[in-house]
Amino acid sequence: MSPKIVDRQAKRAEIARIALDVFAEHGVDATIEQVARAAKIGKGTVYEYYRSKTELIFGSVLTYFEQLDQLTQDASQQFDNPEQRLRFEVKRIVKRLLGDKRYSQIVVGVLRMTNTKEGRLIDRTLNREVNRRFVALITKRILEGISHGVFRPEIAKQTEVLAMNMIAFTDGLWFSYYLERGKINLEEQLDLYLHIFFQHLRKTPSASADEKVVHPRETMAAKGSHDF
Amino acid sequence: MSPKIVDRQAKRAEIARIALDVFAEHGVDATIEQVARAAKIGKGTVYEYYRSKTELIFGSVLTYFEQLDQLTQDASQQFDNPEQRLRFEVKRIVKRLLGDKRYSQIVVGVLRMTNTKEGRLIDRTLNREVNRRFVALITKRILEGISHGVFRPEIAKQTEVLAMNMIAFTDGLWFSYYLERGKINLEEQLDLYLHIFFQHLRKTPSASADEKVVHPRETMAAKGSHDF
Amino acid sequence: MSPKIVDRQAKRAEIARIALDVFAEHGVDATIEQVARAAKIGKGTVYEYYRSKTELIFGSVLTYFEQLDQLTQDASQQFDNPEQRLRFEVKRIVKRLLGDKRYSQIVVGVLRMTNTKEGRLIDRTLNREVNRRFVALITKRILEGISHGVFRPEIAKQTEVLAMNMIAFTDGLWFSYYLERGKINLEEQLDLYLHIFFQHLRKTPSASADEKVVHPRETMAAKGSHDF
Amino acid sequence: MSPKIVDRQAKRAEIARIALDVFAEHGVDATIEQVARAAKIGKGTVYEYYRSKTELIFGSVLTYFEQLDQLTQDASQQFDNPEQRLRFEVKRIVKRLLGDKRYSQIVVGVLRMTNTKEGRLIDRTLNREVNRRFVALITKRILEGISHGVFRPEIAKQTEVLAMNMIAFTDGLWFSYYLERGKINLEEQLDLYLHIFFQHLRKTPSASADEKVVHPRETMAAKGSHDF
DNA sequence: GATGAATGAGCATTCATTCAT
DNA sequence: AATGAATGAATGCTCATTCAT
């Protein structure tokens, strides 16, 4: 029946993956033809798997975020303290994301689609898609912290608000970093936010015993990381 | 000093102002012709004042931020407490900005120019331009707070870092707000951040006597309040 | 004679029949894929039976006209008067054809192929194919009329010319009907033409005793009657 | 104010005229680029005057029919007999039209647009536009014939029906001629129709004294014009 | 024989920019 | 200085046809 057996699902995913790189390189202004060339297929073949360019962008972005699950999941087990662990995880995620050209292009790409009909559907979906992962992670750690007795129990009911707050900060951090690449001290800003954030969560605000657990080797593009 | 020069600059500025509205309405995808029509001048005349569309966007964005000076300057004198004052000012600025269609379009417009040759020069300049104002404001208030004896003197040496931190947060807040218009509780998030931010600045972290001076109508549980 | 050959021809015919419906629905702009889907076969299979889309259109049109043979053949035996009989037959054919979506699409389809290399060959062939049937029918009836003594013997030598004249008229009638669907009174126009046509054939021009034998419901003044 | 003064109306018309020739040559499948090249202007310039290809086709067809007004207006004054005059006029119009490549391409072009949304609006408008002219001409002559006492007064009330009948016939004649170029004897068919048509109009059907008034030199592509 | 995946030529349309007046 | 007519590069998308399996 089907002589040329092709795993359409797999090929679709592969095209998305390649498109992701092309978009990361040239922005979403990249031509379908560029994508096709990169994927070593014909222009028409792209349309065999994606109805429109918008759909392809959507697909490639989703692909990216599926890869992100790794980031949020295989978090290191080396810390038994939830605060240290979240601290480690957040820094790790932020650094990876902000250091990833593809992430920036995706964000920009999504934002600029905002003015198009199709785009409007996509951007919100994506945003929710991304946030969902981080909210889940942060919520989990906060609750762990509470049950470990290190975080105040009262905050249990506002985990989502807290998570969104951290997301807002990291998004904004990306923004500054993206536009002023090199001028902003990522590590320093992140540490500052985490410091005041956890201060708020802890039972004894002053007891920030172990603020600098995270392996300082990862400091990216840091220019005089104050390490306060 | 000749009247012609004044004319040119005035006209240049006027075009930028009109372009700003057009871009706010249609995004930077708006045509030069649309701008010309709105300004009631010929398409070619636009090029008499701006070498390229990119330059026009640049100009219109700068115009916008010049208008912002007002925002950061005529801050209310009703508070003698620097914390309350900064709190009030930040909330006021954030709400005005986030409620302004033009701001969003500008941010998006600038971001999408990132991939162009000309764009690369512009975005950084702009970012610095904008940040400069806010850093100055925040720094000023922090120093006032220190001299008033309410903030810890040690932070004097990191005012810029603190200012950048707040900027990052508010940028990220815009981001969430822009994409999830209506889902995020602006007031709540802002209050949360300001709470932990000032907690960090104060000499006695617990003495947050007057956290909700400004418009205390909205708090944690509320969802869907964008009435400003 | 081998069964395979029969299969191929049957399948070829079936594809043509289905294609005919598809073309009738969407015009000859319909995709090969649409045809294949309608026929529940693969796109490539269509090419197994037809070398090109043009050939398929050709095939489907021929199929249609083969079906027309019925129209011209099982004409009612209820009239022994050749004039009445031809009158009845013509009206019946015209109404069926003009009421058939497929006919219009075919005509239009054939016409627009005129500008293609392949098309040029086809259109004439088709036209001849179609006309042949009607010329034969009309000629036959005219000769019958002559031998029955109702038509003038002189016209025997111009039967083909007369037949072509009637064909031209009915073609043109389709044209008006197709473009002004609803504005033209089909019955009225047909009656008028047949009236003057038979007037010319008859020995005694005035003795048009039975002009409206068939469905006399519609006449001159009526406007907007397409009830067939 | 307007430095480069261009008569937009005139240029628009000129483009239409050139497009008409291009479409006549290659059918409406002709590219906008082909039209632009023929008009010696840039592709974009075409769009400066016509919003879309469909609009251009529409425009070029209208232009053609405006030229037709000449055809129907400056009818020869050499005949004082309305029948002879109409006869002459009809033959003249038909021959000019059928001998004009552009006419055929226009008809085909219009027909094939029938399946498009925009097309549907256009085809009817056009058809009405064309018919209006001929109906007016034919009606006029018939009424003249009646007042001259050569046509039966009873037909005064069905002039429009008669006009539409003649139009249907000539349309159909075009059809046959277009598809079987050279096979059909235009003159012969036209004479036959006019013969039976006027037979119907005249007071004394037999007295067709002057059937062949029309200058027989114009016989086109005639292949043994019987001249019956 | 049947299939459908792959292909790429082809085309309408947009719009920043130029430049003659 | 002001204008708007002219331009053509650039691009998303369609679809008949091919061909490996």
The tens place of each residue's pLDDT in chain B, 228 residues long, gives: 454 555 788 999 999 999 999 998 888 889 999 999 999 999 999 999 999 998 998 889 888 878 777 766 655 567 778 899 899 989 988 888 888 888 888 888 777 777 666 666 666 666 777 788 888 889 999 999 999 999 999 999 999 999 999 999 999 999 888 887 667 899 999 999 999 999 999 987 554 444 444 333 333 333 333 322
Is some CB atom of chain A closer than 8 A to the CB atom of B73?
no
Rounded-to-integer distance, Cα A75 and Cα A92, Å = 9
Kindly list the partner chains of chain A, i.e. chains with 3 or more CB atom pairs below 8 Å: B
Is some CB atom of chain A closer than 8 A to the CB atom of B218?
no
Rounded-to-integer distance, Cα A105 and Cα A178, Å = 10
> A144 CB contacts (<8 Å, ≥6 apart)?
A82, A85
- Predicted confidence at residue D123, as pLDDT, reads 65
Residue window 11-50, chain A: list those with CB within 8 Å of chain B: 26-27, 29
Q: Does A162 sit within 8 Å of B189, measured CB to CB?
A: no
Q: What distances in angstroms separate CA D40 from CA D6, D15, D46, one per listed residue?
A: 16, 10, 10
- Predicted confidence at residue C116, as pLDDT, reads 64
Among A162, A170, A228, the residue with its CB nearest the CB of B158 is A228
- Predicted confidence at residue A115, as pLDDT, reads 64
D171: nearest Cα among C176, C92, C189, B222: C176
> Is residue D118 within 8 Å of residue D54, measured between CB atoms?
yes
The torsion defined by the Cα of C29, C34, C38 and C39, in degrees rounded to 10, comes to 100
- Residues in chain A closer than 8 A to B26 (CB atoms): 115
Strand F within 7 A of B43 CB: yes
Q: Does B188 sit within 8 Å of A161, measured CB to CB?
A: yes
Is some CB atom of chain D closer than 8 A to the CB atom of C162?
yes
Residues of chain A whose pLDDT is less than 50? 207-228
Measured from Cα to the C1' atom, the residue closest to E19 is B44
Residue A28 DSSP code: T
Taking each helix axis as running N to C, give the angle between helix B3-26 and helix B101-112, from 0 to 180 degrees, rounded to the nearest 10: 90
What sign does the CA torsion over C202, C203, C205, C206 have?
negative
Amino acid at C195: H
Taking the CB of residue A146, how many other CB atoms lie within 10 A of it?
Answer: 19
D134: nearest Cα among D93, D79, D105: D93
Strand F within 7 A of C67 CB: no
Q: Does B108 sit within 8 Å of A114, measured CB to CB?
A: yes
CA A59 to C1' F18, in angstroms, rounded, equals: 29
Amino acid at D76: S
Mean pLDDT in residue range C30-46:
95
Strand F within 7 A of B38 CB: no
Scan residues 11-50 of chain A and list those with Cβ within 7 Å of strand E. 11, 40-45, 47-49
pTM confidence score: 0.79
3-state SS assignment for residue C137: helix
pLDDT per position as a tens digit, C159-185: 999 999 999 999 999 988 888 766 789
pLDDT per position as a tens digit, B194-220: 999 999 999 875 544 444 443 333 333
Q: Does C196 sit within 8 Å of D199, measured CB to CB?
A: yes
B40: phi > 0 → left, psi -120 to 50 → alpha, else beta; which? left
Chain F bases near protein Cβ (<7 Å): 1-21
Enclosing H/E stretch for B52: none
In degrees, to the nearest 5, what angle opens at C-alpha D138 toward C-alphas D133 and D144?
Answer: 130
Rounded-to-integer distance, Cα A192 and Cα C117, Å = 75
Q: What percent of chain C has pLDDT over 70?
A: 76
> Is residue D119 within 8 Å of residue D113, measured between CB atoms?
yes
What sign does the CA torsion over D55, D61, D66, D67 have?
positive
Q: What distances in angstroms separate CA D53 from CA D29, D50, D118, one per listed residue?
A: 10, 7, 11
> Is the pLDDT assigned to residue C143 strictly greater than 80?
yes
Taking the CB of residue C65, how many other CB atoms lie within 10 A of it?
Answer: 16
- A149: closest CA of chain B, how far (Å): 20
Q: Does B169 sit within 8 Å of A193, measured CB to CB?
A: yes
Rounded-to-integer distance, Cα A60 and Cα A103, Å = 11
Among A169, A180, A206, the residue with its CB nearest the CB of B172 is A169
Measured from Cα to the C1' atom, the residue closest to F2 is B45
> B50 CB contacts (<8 Å, ≥6 apart)?
B12, B15, B56, B59
Scan residues 102-161 of chain D and list those with Cβ within 7 Å of strand E. none
Give the tokens for residue A23: 């978009």
> Is the pLDDT assigned to residue C40 strictly greater than 70?
yes
Among C165, C179, C206, the residue with its CB nearest the CB of D123 is C179
Q: What distances in angstroms separate CA D48 from CA D53, D122, D132, D143, one per listed residue?
A: 12, 21, 31, 46
Among A167, A172, A200, the residue with its CB nearest the CB of B196 is A200
Give the tokens for residue B130: 């904008």
Chains B and C in direct contact, meaning 3 or more beta-carbon pairs closer than 8 angstroms: no
- Domains of chain B, by residue range, sit at 61-227
Q: Which residue has the higher pLDDT, C143 or D72?
A: C143
Mean pLDDT in residue range D180-209:
82
Rounded-to-integer distance, Cα B22 and Cα B27, Å = 7
D107: nearest Cα among D35, D180, D24, D50: D24
Q: Give the nearest nucleotide to D47, CA to C1'.
A: E13
Which residue from C minimizes the CA distance to D167? C172
Q: What percent of chain A has pLDDT over 70?
A: 76
Average pLDDT, chain A: 81
Amino acid at C201: L
The torsion defined by the Cα of C102, C165, C150 and D226, in degrees rounded to 10, comes to -160
b (16+ CB within 10 A) / e for C74-111: ebeeebebbbbbbbbbbbbbbbebbeeebbbbbbbbbb
Chain E bases near protein Cβ (<7 Å): 1-21
> D211 CB contacts (<8 Å, ≥6 apart)?
D191, D195
Name the pLDDT band for C119 (thresholds 50, 70, 90). low
Rounded-to-integer distance, Cα B40 and Cα B19, Å = 11
> Is the pLDDT assigned to residue C227 strictly greater than 60?
no
CA B115 to C1' E17, in angstroms, rounded, equals: 20
> Is residue C162 within 8 Å of residue C151, measured between CB atoms?
no
Chains D and A in direct contact, meaning 3 or more beta-carbon pairs closer than 8 angstroms: no
CA D30 to C1' F13, in angstroms, rounded, equals: 19
Give the tokens for residue A82: 């939830």
Q: Which residue has the higher pLDDT, C101 or D159?
A: D159
A204: phi > 0 → left, psi -120 to 50 → alpha, else beta; which? beta
Q: Give the nearest nucleotide to A3, CA to C1'.
A: F21
State the best of B164, B190, B204, B223 to mutate against chain A, taking most chain A CBs within 10 Å.
Answer: B164
Name the pLDDT band for C73 (thresholds 50, 70, 90). low
A118: nearest Cα among A177, A70, A51, A175: A51
Is some CB atom of chain C closer than 8 A to the CB atom of D170?
yes
Mean pLDDT in residue range C80-85:
86
Scan residues 106-135 of chain C and list those with Cβ within 7 Å of strand E. none
Q: What distances in angstroms separate CA C107 from CA B17, C100, C139, D108, one per listed residue?
A: 59, 11, 24, 10
Mean pLDDT in residue range C110-127:
67
- Predicted confidence at residue A218, as pLDDT, reads 38
> Is residue B191 within 8 Å of residue B212, measured between CB atoms?
yes
- Predicted confidence at residue B96, as pLDDT, reads 86
Strand F within 7 A of D224 CB: no
User: HEC string of chain D?
Assistant: CCCCCCCHHHHHHHHHHHHHHHHHHHCCCCCHHHHHHHCCCCHHHHHHHCCCHHHHHHHHHHHHHHHHHHHHHCCCCCCCCHHHHHHHHHHHHHHHHHCCHHHHHHHHHHHHHHHCHHHHHHHHHHHHHHHHHHHHHHHHHHHHHHHCCCECHHHHHHHHHHHHHHHHHHHHHHHHHHHCCCCCCHHHHHHHHHHHHHHHHECCCCCCCCCCCCCHHHCCCCCCCCCC
Measured from Cα to the C1' atom, the residue closest to E7 is A42
B56: nearest Cα among B16, B89, B97, B23: B16
> C79 CB contacts (<8 Å, ≥6 apart)?
C85, C88, C213
- Residues in chain C closer than 8 A to D172 (CB atoms): 167-175
Strand F within 7 A of D44 CB: yes
Taking each helix axis as running N to C, give the angle between helix A159-179 and helix B117-147, from 0 to 180 degrees, rounded to the nearest 10: 120
b (16+ CB within 10 A) / e for C169-195: bbbbbbbbbbbeeeebbbbbbbbbbbb
Q: Give the nearest nucleotide to B54, CA to C1'.
A: E16
In the CATH hierarchy, which top-level class contains the domain B61-227? mainly alpha
- Predicted confidence at residue C117, as pLDDT, reads 60
Q: What distances in angstroms separate CA B114 from CA A40, B29, B97, one per listed residue?
A: 28, 15, 22
Q: Does D111 sit within 8 Å of C161, measured CB to CB?
A: no
Half-sphere exposure of B133 (CA within 13 A, CB side): 19
D60: nearest Cα among D42, D84, D90, D38: D38
- C197: closest CA of chain D, how far (Å): 6
The torsion defined by the Cα of A189, A191, A194 and A198, in degrees rounded to 10, comes to -140
Residue C87 DSSP code: H
- Predicted confidence at residue B40, as pLDDT, reads 95
3-state SS assignment for residue B73: helix
> Is residue A179 within 8 Å of residue B123, measured between CB atoms?
yes
Measured from Cα to the C1' atom, the residue closest to E2 is C45
Q: What distances in angstroms separate CA A78 from CA C58, C137, C170, one per listed residue?
A: 75, 96, 90
> Is residue B127 within 8 Å of residue A179, measured between CB atoms?
yes
